[in-house]
Amino acid sequence: MTTSHMNPNYINGEWVAAERVLTDVNPSDLDDVVGRYAEASAAQVGEAVAAARAAFPAWSRRGIQERADILDRIGTEILARKEELGRLLSREEGKTLPEGIGEAARAGYIFRFFAGEVLRARGELLDSVRPGIGVEISREALGVVGLVTPWNFPLAIPAWKIAPALAYGNCVVFKPSELAPACAWAIAEILARAGLPAGVFNLVMGGGATGEALTHSPGLDAISFTGSQATGARVAAIAAERGVRLQLEMGGKNPLVVLDDADLAVAVNCAVQGAYYSTGQRCTASSRLIVTEGIHDRFVAALVERLGQLKVDDALAPGTDIGPVVDARQLEKDLDYIRIAQEEGARLAFGGTRLERAKRGHYLAPTLFAETTAAMRINREEVFGPVASVIRAKDYDEALALANDTPFGLCAGIVTTALKLAADFKRNAEVGMVMVNLPTAGVDYHVPFGGRKGSSHGPREQGAFAREFYTTVKTAYVLA
């Protein structure tokens, strides 16, 4: 592809250019332009929503075999091309190649899972309390769903919104992140050839302004958003004004509790994978390591040793453990928090600095703070980088209280050999997902995903639970 080529938006079954262009740059190599992507205007967003509205009645009544076949074709193609798509993802977003390929495969499996879900749509039949009357409870598609996604899982998150939306008979207007248009475009290109009628799926690329145009659009029935809490709050205000159904998945400040009886190697592995892999740019990243007294010093020493062995480099280079930060703005944010943590009295135990590599890129050393307190900003606000901090706890009870002392509630992990404490933690962690002797990041695609408190709003995503958001319930009474 030449750099002057512009990858267009996809609206009403047509590829449509735009006046404004997004330039997508490889964060591992700032001299490598991944591509140029059309930034949809507000008018084009309106056209996409109108096309989706027009396509909805026929699509929602279409036979389920056809819907299942289309989703299956999409998933099968993504799986067949997982290496190429994974490479594109790593080049665009900066996670390592094995992580990129793994995510591409996950996106394929998600489409195939929802191909199966199409055939499992079901209702309920009950007797009425009034004799001679039957009651039917069924589910129907919502209509037009606006999907707004972040950059950090640029294949998987679009897949886990688009696939259920289409599976349950909705039409889609998809607004991906401006930092990851290449992955979004690649998905759209596959969907455009999968046999969907015009208008059922639309891609409108662009930044916050395109997202605003979509959320303000009067033709939407629902919005599913994944991104930061700040943007989520803005989307929520607009959705409330318009009375639109809303699902928000936002940030995390996920704790990993390490107890005295933990297996040290398991604890260090969970911390390294959960806090630093994917450059820490995961909503489920373990950014707070809550460690009890008896193991604290051994844990910190072992973790520092492991951090020294991690290879930070080009996401596509063999052997890289940690790729670059996604862009200059996120890198500045990470460095700001590193400075703030030190000003607040945290002890820098490892990293904290930018790294130079053969290619110009946004490289940051994995960074660990020790002797931090729950009140520090580093422990209250989401950084979204390869930065974690250790909080000392005197015992399990204090560790649990610290784990829950956060406005977020996405995921929490515990490393312990005590079944009783693991069970207690599963029950009392105020989150949507709990991990026992596993990293907080790394989840399956066929089970519910989501959180509580400031992390999430609305029904869960993924697995069969996705239908709670993407369908509406109808109760019919029939005189026998």
- CA 193 and chain centroid, separation: 25
Name which of 433, 434, 420, 313 is nearest 365 in CA terms: 313
Q: Which of 47, 178, 212, 249 is catalytic?
A: 249
For residue 333, give Cα distances in angstroms to 339, 378, 383, 412: 10, 12, 7, 24
Cβ neighbours of 347 (radius 10 Å): 14
Q: How far is the CB of 411 from ligand NAD (least distance, A)?
A: 9
Residue ranges of E strands in 306-460: 347-350, 367-372, 387-393, 408-409, 411-415, 433-436, 452-453, 456-457
3-state SS, residue 55: helix
Closer to ligand NAD at the Cβ: 215 or 292? 215
Q: How far is the CB of 352 from ligand NAD (least distance, A)?
A: 22
Active site residue 283: yes
| Chain position whose Cβ is nearest to ligand NAD | 211
Torsion over CA: 429, 431, 435, 440 (sign): negative
Closer to ligand NAD at the Cβ: 72 or 381? 381
Q: Which of 171, 183, 270, 283 is catalytic?
A: 283
Closer to ligand NAD at the Cβ: 169 or 252? 252
Closer to ligand NAD at the Cβ: 151 or 396? 151
Residue pair 204/214 in contact (Cβ under 8 Å)? The answer is: yes
Q: How far is the CB of 229 from ligand NAD (least distance, A)?
A: 6
Q: How far is the CB of 76 from ligand NAD (least distance, A)?
A: 25
Q: One-letter amino acid identity for 240?
A: A
The string of DSSP codes covering 454-478 is TTEESSPBSGGGGHHHHEEEEEEEE
Pairwise CA distance, residues 326 & 313, whole Å? 13
Q: Which residues contact 157 (CB under 8 A, 6 or more apart)?
A: 149, 150, 226
Q: How far is the CB of 34 from ligand NAD (least distance, A)?
A: 17
Closer to ligand NAD at the Cβ: 22 or 171? 22
Q: Which residues contact 296 (CB under 8 A, 6 or more apart)?
A: 390, 392
Q: How far is the CB of 212 from ligand NAD (least distance, A)?
A: 4
Q: Looking up tokens 């959320």, which residue turns up?
A: 215
Residue pair 366/277 in contact (Cβ under 8 Å)? The answer is: no
Closer to ligand NAD at the Cβ: 283 or 303? 283
Q: One-letter amino acid identity for 425?
A: F
Q: How far is the CB of 286 from ligand NAD (least distance, A)?
A: 13
Residue 449 carries which DSSP code? B
Closer to ligand NAD at the Cβ: 52 or 383? 383
Q: Which long-range contacts does 229-234 make (Cβ < 8 Å, 24+ apart)?
A: 229/382, 229/454, 232/457
Closer to ligand NAD at the Cβ: 114 or 153? 153
Burial class (CB in 10 A: 0-12, 13-18, 19+), 6: middle
Torsion over CA: 187, 190, 194, 199 (sign): positive
**Chain residues in the site for ligand NAD (CB under 6 A):** 148-153, 175, 177-178, 207-208, 211-212, 215, 226-228, 231, 234-235, 249-252, 283, 382, 384, 410, 455
Closer to ligand NAD at the Cβ: 201 or 384? 384
Q: Which residues contact 344 (CB under 8 A, 6 or more apart)?
A: 376, 377, 378
Active site residue 411: no
Q: How far is the CB of 373 from ligand NAD (least distance, A)?
A: 23
Q: How far is the CB of 10 from ligand NAD (least distance, A)?
A: 16
Helix (H) or strand (E) holding 175: strand 171-175
Question: Catalytic amino acids?
Answer: 249, 283
